[in-house]
Structure 1
C-alpha cells in the first residue's frame, strides 16, 4: 500500500511517501503500529511519528477513516494528514 505523509507527519517520517508491504487487509491501528516501527526515531528537531500519528486524519483512497479499527486493503493509498494551522 502507498502511504503518503503530509506536513508534520512527513517531517517525522523523514519522507513524503513510502510503499508498505501488506499481504492482507489490516486495521488502521495495525498500520499505525507498522509505521511507528518503521520510523522509531525522528529527525533532529522533530516529534516522533508515534507522537504525531494519533493527532492525524487518515484518508484511505480519498475517504476519511476515523475508526482505528476500520480496515485497509493492501492496494490502498493512505494519506496521513496532521492538523493544519492549529486545527
Structure 2
C-alpha cells in the first residue's frame, strides 16, 4: 500500500472541497474508489477526468493496472474549455 498526495484541480477541487489530501492505496482504481466513496459530486467529476501520476499521463490505461509508489502525487484534471 502506497502513501502519497492526491491533488484536485478546477471542478474536482470544488467537488472535493480541498485542493489536496493524503492517500493510501495500491492502485489508481483503489484510490479513486476510496476518494469518491460517499462523495457523489466528486465521483461525477472523476468519471470525466484525466489523471497524472508523478507527472505522467495515465491516458486510456486501465486504472487497475496503474500501481502507485510510496510518495506518489496523483493529479485529477477535469475537462476544461479552451486550449
Under a length normalisation based on structure 2, what TM-score does the superposition of the two structures give? 0.82
Q: How many correspondences in the alignment?
A: 77
Superposition misfits of 4+ residues, deviation over 6 angstroms: none
Under a length normalisation based on structure 1, what TM-score does the superposition of the two structures give? 0.78
| Aligned counterparts of 1:54 and 1:63: Cα–Cα separation in 2 | 19
Structure 1: stretches of 5+ with no match in the other structure: 43-47
Aligned counterpart, 2:42: 49
Structure 2: stretches of 5+ with no match in the other structure: none
Q: Which aligned pairs between 1:33-44 and structure 2 lie closer than 5 A? A: 33-37=33-37, 40-41=38-39
| Aligned counterparts of 1:72 and 1:17: Cα–Cα separation in 2 | 17
Match of 1:80 among 49, 65, 76: 76
